[in-house]
Amino acid sequence: MAVNYKYELVGVLGYPVAENPTCVMQEAGFAALGLQWRYLTMEVKPKALPDAMRGVRALGMRGINLTIPHKVAVMALLDDIAPDAKMIGAVNTVRREGDRLIGENTDGKGFLRGLRESGIDPRGKRIVVLGAGGAARAITVELALAGAAELIVINRSIDRGQALVADLKSRTGANAQFKPWSATVAIGPETDVLVNATSIGLYPDIDATPDVDLKSARTDLLVCDVIPNPPETRLVQAARAQGLQTLTGLSMLVYQGTIGFEMWTGQPAPEAAMKRALEQAFGL
């Protein structure tokens, strides 16, 4: 049998990046399918990004993830950008089509896959999103494209929240509105889905929780959190204690990775193996 010592390469560029757990999940996926692929975690300073992307091309890498601070800057270094990534204004995944590098954003798509798996189709729904940063942008664009009836963005900083809603309206035609986060956010019976897309509650600040009141929420409200670590945030715990359905940030993290895996390899991702590897990395 012919010997093949060659690996297909993918990876992530970030700064800092050492604590990014994606390699564990992707390599578990390659192992589960017996693929001779490697996922490299690479620290790249902002001014070195153009050289790093030339390296991605020169090495024939099959794809790359981008994390902080490269998700916007990489867009100028690609051959094409998927329509939804353009609307979001950021790229977290690059895939190769021949010699061309195409920018994608799988964060919002990963969220949507989890939402649908929870039995919720966003079409026609009223969805309240806390936050207006990168995660909120990706999620709200995909919700708008999936036909959400009403998107309410609530954010502490007014400029950022208004800018997101203006972009959502002009780029997706969504019915979106901004509300400043000035007091406790009361979730009433008219809301179908609540999403925490802020970083409140992220490890190590695990006792922090968004200031929301779920007392008058519907009994079938779905409460979602983007925080992957810990997956059981205080918000998720409070919602479960009230008997509400929940979706954790671990689901979003797994699915944004499995969607990238499928874009790169062209094969269905072994989701269970990838999820288990990530849970182990988080000590769960």
Task: Please choose, out of 16-24, 30-38, 79-87, 223-231, the segment that lies near ligand NDP by the rule CB under 6 A.
Answer: 223-231
Residues of this chain, 88-117, that bind ligand NDP according to CB under 6 A: 107, 110
| 6 catalytically annotated | no
Distances (CA, A) of 64 to 22, 97, 134, 192, 225: 11, 13, 18, 35, 26
Q: Indicate whether 78 belongs to the interface with ligand NDP (CB under 6 A).
A: no
Q: Indicate whether 14 belongs to the interface with ligand NDP (CB under 6 A).
A: no
Q: Of all residues in this chain, which one has the CB nearest to ligand NDP in the complex?
A: 133
Residues of this chain, 202-221, that bind ligand NDP according to CB under 6 A: 202
Q: Indicate whether 122 belongs to the interface with ligand NDP (CB under 6 A).
A: no
With a CB cutoff of 8 Å and minimum separation 6, the contacts of 43 are 14, 15, 16, 17, 18
Q: Which amino acid is at 235?
A: L
Q: For residues 93 and 68, what is the distance between their CA atoms, to the nearest angstrom?
A: 12
Q: For residues 109 and 121, what is the distance between their CA atoms, to the nearest angstrom?
A: 13
- 39's enclosing H/E stretch is strand 37-43
Q: Indicate whether 65 belongs to the interface with ligand NDP (CB under 6 A).
A: no
* Of the candidate residues 199, 216, 237, 242, the single one contacting ligand NDP (CB under 6 A): 199
Nearer to ligand NDP by C-beta: 57 or 179? 179
Distances (CA, A) of 219 to 4, 75, 110, 197: 56, 42, 25, 22
The minimum distance between CB 110 and ligand NDP, in angstroms, equals 6
Q: Indicate whether 160 belongs to the interface with ligand NDP (CB under 6 A).
A: yes
**Three-class DSSP category at 143:** helix
Nearer to ligand NDP by C-beta: 28 or 226? 226
The minimum distance between CB 227 and ligand NDP, in angstroms, equals 5
Strands of the sheet containing 176-180, edge to edge, are 176-180, 150-155, 126-130, 193-196, 222-225, 245-247
Q: Which residues bind ligand NDP (CB under 6 A)?
A: 107, 110, 131-136, 155-157, 160, 198-200, 202, 226-228, 249, 252-253, 256
- Catalytic residue numbers, as ranges: 71
